[in-house]
């Protein structure tokens, strides 16, 4: 999948549309999901044009890969969800129902989150 520079998260990164920011550093931006599926539902995105984790780890400089992963952990700590527990998830491609073609890590927390997938093989 090629990167579409007009995807909604690229626009958020450029400041063209607003977000409810949770955290930002040189490598990542974190903000509340517009349609939360849990009491805490935050998205963490890297600052760069990457569609998926596979694309990101192939093309991004090592400093950005490390900085982005570190930011995900920082956000989890900052949200205060470590003790009760949380889930991180990244959808990639059609089978995973990826809606926005810019790599994003979902952080879900604030209630028991149930099984990882609906049981169907
Ligand atoms: P995906 O299915 O691609 O993993 O998830 C995309 C997520 O982005 C969805 O949970 C959706 O609610 C969220 N989203 C889509 N558009 C916007 C937006 O403009 N602002 C924010 N904050 N979240 C968005």
Distance 50 CA to ligand 1 centre (A): 16
What's 82's domain CATH number? 3.30.428.10
Backbone angles phi, psi at 57, to 5 degrees: -75, -20
The tally of domains found in the chain comes to 1
pLDDT beyond 90 at 1: no
Q: How much is the average pLDDT of 54-63?
A: 98
Question: 63 Cβ partners below 8 Å, 6+ apart?
Answer: 27
In a domain, 119, yes or no: no
In a domain, 53, yes or no: yes
In a domain, 80, yes or no: yes
33 lines ligand 1 (CB under 6 A): yes
Distance 9 CA to ligand 1 centre (A): 8
Question: CA dihedral in degrees (9, 48, 88, 83; nearest 10)?
Answer: -100
Question: How far, in Å, CA of 13 to CA of 3, rounded?
Answer: 14
Domain holding 96, by residue range, is 8-109
- For 4-17, how does the pLDDT look when each residue is reduced to its tens digit (9 = 90+)? 999 999 999 999 99
* pLDDT over 70 percentage in the chain: 100
Any idea how long the chain is?
121
List the catalytic residues.
104
Asked whether 53 and 105 are in contact (CB, 8 A), the reply is: no
pLDDT grade, residue 120 (50/70/90)? Answer: confident
In a domain, 74, yes or no: yes
35 lines ligand 1 (CB under 6 A): yes
């Amino acid at each position: 999948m090629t990167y579409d520079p007009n995807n909604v998260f690229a626009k958020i990164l450029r400041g063209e549309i607003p977000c409810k920011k949770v955290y930002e550093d040189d490598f990542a931006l974190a903000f509340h999901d517009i349609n939360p599926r849990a009491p805490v539902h935050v998205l963490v995105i890297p600052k760069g044009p990457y569609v998926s984790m596979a694309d990101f780890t192939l093309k991004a400089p090592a400093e950005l890969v490390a900085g982005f992963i570190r930011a995900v952990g920082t956000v989890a700590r900052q949200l205060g969800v470590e003790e009760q527990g949380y889930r991180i998830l990244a959808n990639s491609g059609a089978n995973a129902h990826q809606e926005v073609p810019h790599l994003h890590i979902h952080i879900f927390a604030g209630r028991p989150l149930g099984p990882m997938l609906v049981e169907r093989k």
